[in-house]
Structure 1
């Protein structure tokens, strides 16, 4: 009988509300754990042009590369694609009387932002992220 290799599945990062509150700043907690949104032009990463990787502030999962970041004029860090197909997860968001697609970290379910169909080539997508939900590691 041949040996079958199964892909290694990463376990979800699960913490109590108290653990998240201890780890995160109040604004990071409000955005990532309570599905909040920072004010436009207020995050540390919205206009950065440094080369590197943007990861989840909650669990460190790499999410976006700086090469896919672009100036959308919205005041939030915007990317045209995630670092991999399994880095983020999409959910329908019907809050505030709108229908949008919410983006969360695939490993810890941190709310990151939303994706919209008005981005640049090659994807035509705008992953509009809360900068306080991201950590940046320079190359």
Structure 2
């Protein structure tokens, strides 16, 4: 089932191209912005990381404050977050990012509770599809 864009800020940003994406959202007098990110998309029944296509998306960032706590993704192996959503064509679209001071609007976060092993093997994520590991 596709993820619905429910936040008006996400809809404004989604309507922008790569060339006009970066900058203030302009709905209200605040610090929320749009930012272009490089994405990787996987087909509806894809289970292999190699079966992907590169793309991009204009995402909405909601300002939360000047300080930040850097999150750990990929079972603690990387600083940042892997974000995902399901598109209207049932593709899984993902990107990796670290947006200090801002929260990504209308995208889900991949999450791991088990750490990566010494052999560098990642456990499957506890939140999000197994394809989250492809972005690590």
TM range (shorter): under 0.3
Q: Whose RCO is larger (CA < 8 A, sep 6+)?
A: 1
TM-score of the pair, normalised by structure 1: 0.27
The structure with the greater share of residues assigned to strand is 2
> Normalised by the size of structure 2, how large is the TM-score?
0.27
